[in-house]
Chain A
Amino acid sequence: MNAITMTTNTATGTRGWRASIADVPVLALGALLAVAIATGNASVTAAGAALSALSLLVTIVVLAFSRRQLRADPRSASFARLATGLAIATVLMGLAADALLLAAAWIVSGRLMAGLIGHVGEWSEARDAARRANIAFTVGDIALVVAVGSLASIAGSTDIAAIKAALPAMPALETTVAAFLLVIAALARCAIPPFSNWLMRSLAAPTPVSALMHAGFVNAGGFLLIQFAPVLEASLNARYALFATGIVAALVGSAIMLVRADIKGSLAASTVGQMGFMLLTVALGAYPAALWHMIAHGLFKAWLFLGSAGTISSAPTRAKGLSQPWPALIALATIIGGIALIQTEQAHALLPVCLALTALLSALAVALRALPRGPLGAAVALAPIVLIAINAAALAFMTAVQPGAAQPLISPYGQIAILSLFLAGWVWQQRIVSGQQALPPALFARMIHAGNALTSSTNANAKD
């Protein structure tokens, strides 16, 4: 904004950058980050760098977006402060070499996000959403603090590297408890059921807040578990629990997405499913795949949220299902591909790779229609292949900088079984979406309210 705009603006000092006492905490947080780096309390890991880069990129975009989006919002300055603070806290969390620093940054980022969710303070829906977020984050905070505290006290050091080094010597019970607590912290942050409410209700916040969640906030659960991967790997049960919850979240989130008529609701539901998928990838031990998912999905979803006002359509769009017999054929081809992958002994991340194959084959099945259109049609068909290739390159890069788990959780054929479960759900979904099969009303009723329970406060408010 330039000088002319400022002078013609009749607003009385509420806009524009003016130093305020409320800036101090943000500056202090920045100073803390600087000190952490200067004193060697920061270390760059692949997971931390990925989280920090994602956070900075999306935050810069969201702040620039909000200059116009929140132009008429009396709290736009407060939004900018909280968003900046959130980015600093997220970077601090990503780079922290000290477990206590990481936990503190984790707690701070949670409080900042709850503040952002309650942005429209006079609206009971927003206050209720902030309250739910605070509850979910508190559970996660407590779990994380207890986990980090117990690990640090046994290891005799708060340094993350030292804790990892001391792990083999720790009693099994303590590491198991710590692993479970870390999983709980990650589930709360990732809005995995039963913690989905905070995310689904957060639509009462302005659009930029929803985008900001994907800047290393909702997806920080994956980062946390990768950062403390040895702890997680010390408890097979914790990994199984994470794996099972991940599958449930992936299925439930995808299902809710299908019944939501509102764009933001279906995007939020999809995030629940995507976070489930990310965590199940972590549980499998495919850390590079999980990290790449965290970044790519974060960018994708931030983009969709910011552009959500442009989704008015002039016509009913066609049913978005593949016609028979494509789904069954593609599912079969995927399983054959998966078995072939096992033969090459590169089946560490079989599930994500095979689902990428399903997506590619589906895309190509749709693109077949475009082929007769000549060179442009061929370009359309080529696009998914190029994108999947870029994706594979990114995954290869991630694998080079971030090792996976020493021990895979389940055998490749176990993964084939899980893959079959997903594919069966997908084939069923294609049948329902293309109208070949109906959903029972009772199931629909549950899906339409899932993660979005009405509150007693809404009731009380309407009555008074």
Chain B
Amino acid sequence: MNIATAVRAAETGVPASLQEERQELQALVDIAGQTVAPLWPLDSAIAVNPLSGFEDLPFEDAVPQAAELFGARASLSLVQWRSLKAEGRIEDVAFRRAVVNALGGIDSAFESLGPDLNAYNLLVARLVELPTEDTPASRNELDAPHAVLARYLAAFFDRNAALRLPGRELGLYHSVSAALRHDPALVRAGDTTAAAWLANAPAEPLEMLLFAARRDGVSRDRRLPWLRSLVASLPGWAAHLRWRAEHGGPSASAGAPATMIELMALIALVQGSVRSGPQALAGAADAIGQVEQALLSYFGLPATAPSAWSDQARDALRRVASMSLAELGLVFQEAAEASFLGQFAPQLEGASARLTAPARAPAAEAQAVFCIDVRSEPMRRALEAQGRYETLGYAGFFGLPIAINPACEAPTRNQLPVLLSPAHVVAERAAQGREAEADALLDRHAALADARAILDTTKSGATGFATAEAAGPLAAVALLARTLAPRLTDALRKRLVGERGHVLTPSACNDHGHGAGAIPLEQRVAYAKGMFALTGLSHETARLVALVGHGGCTTNNAFAASLDCGACGGHPGGPNARLMAAILNDSEVRAGLAEQGIAIPDDSWFIAAQHDTTRDEIEIFDRQLVPASHTDDLAKFTLALQRAGAQCREERAMRLGRTPEDLLTGAAHWGEVRPEWGLSGNAAFIVGPRALTADIDLGGSAFLHSYDWKKDEDGSALTGIMTAPMIVAQWINCQYLFSTIDNEVFGAGDKTTQNVIGGFGVVQGSGGDLCVGLPRQSLFRDDGTPYHTPRRLAVIIEAPLQRVQDIVLAHDVVGRLVENGWINLVVIDPWKHKAHHWVRGEWAARPC
């Protein structure tokens, strides 16, 4: 049935059912579109859970299902897990307990199957003893029809196309399907019916899907899985499209409208150019038999031994032998998670017990509020070691829901978590007292932009030949400088061009009356109050309080933004810190706060700073505004920051297997593929006062959010923490977890063969699906072993059990993650100082 007959059918009296079928398909399309998570462009890279569409399922079911759909590995290989265990990242006790749990408890695990044989022995043998092949994640390769489509998708989505895809403004389906009809490569790749198929393709995407479903005999009850498989055949481009439609705003799709149904229709169109025969299924039963034989022979038993066993014993053997890689991997993963909790939970319990002791520490010389990012933890520990310094953890956008309108020709950028939308657009302007420098800087930037425009205009076409010749000598200088003297070159560049972050700052107030960019006073007071409420920061603040944002520092790195602050929309957090510091130093705001019971001492001054996580240097902004009375405090604090930075760099260099000096060079070197480990190693999100974790070396594995349950009587602060920063931490955790498990499908693969496409993403080699997730070098060591251990996020909260339980039950977004096992929720009872683990609907005492 083609479109013509369908229309005729509608006219001749069966419109109702056809209309219904269309509506049903449209509804299914919307559901199937959620199969992939939105993928942010790399200039504002945001970590997302690539399996966010599967969070309605329990973790253990979701992973194998998604792995099958996307053609991914469901776990690290057993060889990799064994090496992690051999390295000591999995404790023996935790491992044994995980094996027993996987077998359904002690009884079934240790029930005797025969002489000296039980299910526990069998499973341990499968996990760590039986020879196994190391199956590496294989490179994702598209067949010809999908590869053709991927080229057009790239051309359609290209932001910087010199030459636009014809008809792009008409929409994705119209322009690409028109081009595909003229595509010789697709006809060649297809079978004999391909040309006719392409010629008869309906003009509307919904009709195209109906057409394809009917031709391939996809019955109505199988349409959802079919649509999901369409999306999953080009998950990267689909994920980009989801971002574009849901988060990109009108500017992202201006001049090139596209919807998910159009993409699905195009995939159905190219798939239809080859009529696939029935797919042969692998002989699964046979493989299980082989594993059984291997197990038996490992225990020195003849192949016929089970015939003498009881049915129960045979079932036990079969069960162990039939466990999939996903199930086996999960045993290791749970053991790794338990190892982490086993190591730190007792220490946290001990710290909680000591908290009640009213030992009043002398007031801090200075306080510093860091982002909750795991890279803040070593730095905070190092700073605290320098003297009487107190640190806190708070989401790195400092609670300011802003977008910044840059002072030059650049689009507005969101400086807040993607869960929120900006409430204020704040203008970037010269920092107070540095107006002349700012003007000079903007002039230099404009000149540089002009120079770039000259190159862009002349580099292609007939003028490109002369441009290449003219730029050659310049390129030779740049080649040598960037390769042989990277740090000098970087310093020189900063000297000549200037750093906009130094002299330009977002501004909350409009000096010339109240313009559009200003944040109203009551809002400013509310944001300031929010920081005290969520972190439990006492209003008796120290003489100096630093708000420390963070950002990475790398060059020639497509994934640079993935090292920046996720809470600031994948940008450095300095601007938010500066705005918040300005708000808190504002006398009007302080008066407003005092009215609400937060009387900040008059001798307290807030400064903004930014932690460079690649070099571990903390830069203080707006020194010129610090009152003379605080100069000595600032000098002392600066020195402490320098020492802390050096200590932190030393610690981090060891984890990278390099020298601290080499890290500084790597940050400026254009060939460096691993300037830092980023958030690799993240394992926990700890909510509580700093005293809970102050004596523990967490090795950069934990997000630390300050919280004081005593100051949060109605639980609203904890609700805020669990519904926003915790969710973001879980996204990050899942991105790292799945990018490690299968770096080719859920990750972005090898950095050195990546190819920037459209100005916003990368593909491997000469094209194909858009890469999602993180590159290999961010997660794996030079020798190929995983640096990041795949572990679900342990959320550890010090608060009354009932309060946490109420929040979990009241908020579906939290309850879903906890109940389906996407996070491990552990609550430390503040009275009994015991950790409790939420296990599918009830509290269990910590398993240790």
The interface of chain A, by Cβ under 8 A from chain B, is: 1-2, 4-5, 8-12, 14-15, 57-58, 61, 64-74, 120, 122-126, 200-201, 203-208, 250, 254, 257-259, 261-265, 270, 273-274, 277, 292-293, 295-304, 306-322, 352, 355-356, 358-360, 362-363, 366-367, 369-370, 373-374, 376-377, 379-380, 383-384, 387-388, 390-391, 394, 422-423, 425-426, 429-430, 432-433, 435, 438-442, 444-446, 448-449, 452-454, 458-459, 461-463
Contacts and interface: CB of A to CB of B under 8 A. Distances in A.
B443 A123 contact: no
A288 to B, nearest CB: 12
Interface string B764-803: 1111000000001100111110000000000000000000
A355 B465 contact: yes
Interface in B165-193: 165-167, 178-185, 189
Please list the 8 inter-chain residue pairs (A to B) with the smallest Cβ-Cβ separation, ordered nearest first: A296-B472, A462-B143, A206-B752, A359-B466, A303-B475, A356-B466, A359-B463, A261-B158
A43 B671 CA distance: 36
Contacts of A377: 447, 450
B287 interface: no
Contacts of B183: 445, 449
A426 B443 contact: no
Contacts of A314: 43-44, 410-411, 413
B466 A355 contact: yes
Q: Is the interface of A mostly helix, strand, loop or mixed?
A: helix
Interface in B734-770: 750-760, 763-767
Interface string B314-334: 000000000000000000000
Q: Which of A9, A126, A303, A316 has the most CB of B within 10 A?
A: A316
Contact of B555 (A310, A320, A322, A359): A310
B752 A73 contact: yes
B162 interface: yes
Contact of B147 (A312, A373, A458): A458
Contacts of B780: 72
A371 to B, nearest CB: 9
A452 B484 CA distance: 35
Interface in B455-486: 456-476, 478-480, 482-484
B453 interface: yes
Given A274-B465, A362-B457, A125 B558 contact: no
Contacts of A379: 447
A391 B469 contact: yes
B556 A356 contact: no
Contact of B451 (A383, A444, A445): A383
Interface in B473-506: 473-476, 478-480, 482-484
Contact of A312 (B152, B158, B558): B558
Nearest to A69: B671
Given A254-B462, A299-B476, A120 B753 contact: yes
Contacts of A273: 464-465
Contacts of A356: 466, 469-470
B3 interface: no
Given A65-B483, A315-B410, A377-B450, A71 B465 contact: no
Nearest to B660: A4
A454 B147 contact: yes
B674 interface: yes
A298 B574 CA distance: 40
Contact of A463 (B143, B162, B453, B782): B143
Contacts of B450: 366-367, 369-370, 373, 377, 380
Nearest to B181: A441
A459 B159 CA distance: 30
B141 interface: yes
A74 B751 contact: no
Given A308-B755, A310-B558, A391-B469, 8 more contacts: A254-B461, A259-B162, A262-B766, A299-B472, A358-B463, A374-B443, A448-B152, A459-B143
A261 B757 contact: yes
Contacts of B753: 120, 123, 203-207
Q: Which of B152, B178, B752 has the most CB of A within 10 A?
A: B752
Contacts of A270: 459-460, 464
Nearest to A432: B163
A79 B154 CA distance: 31
B160 A316 contact: yes
Nearest to B186: A445
A442 B164 CA distance: 14
22 contacts: A2-B659, A5-B658, A61-B484, A65-B483, A70-B752, A71-B674, A259-B155, A262-B755, A262-B767, A263-B757, A264-B755, A307-B670, A309-B556, A310-B555, A310-B670, A367-B450, A370-B447, A376-B444, A384-B470, A387-B474, A444-B165, A459-B144
A445 B182 contact: yes
A302 B475 contact: yes
Contacts of B410: 314-315
Contacts of B674: 71-72
Given A68-B669, A314-B413, A316-B159, A373 B447 contact: yes
B454 A71 contact: no
Contact of A68 (B139, B464, B672): B672
Contacts of B784: 72, 74
Q: Which of A8, A71, A318, A445 has the most CB of B within 10 A?
A: A445
Q: Which of A394, A422, A454 has the most CB of B within 10 A?
A: A454
Given A358-B463, A432-B163, A297 B141 contact: no
B662 interface: yes
A366 B457 contact: yes
Contact of B185 (A302, A359, A453): A453
A435 B758 CA distance: 18
Contacts of A426: 461-463
B666 interface: yes
B654 interface: yes
Interface in B113-145: 138-139, 141-144
B469 A292 contact: yes
A366 B453 contact: yes
B456 A317 contact: yes
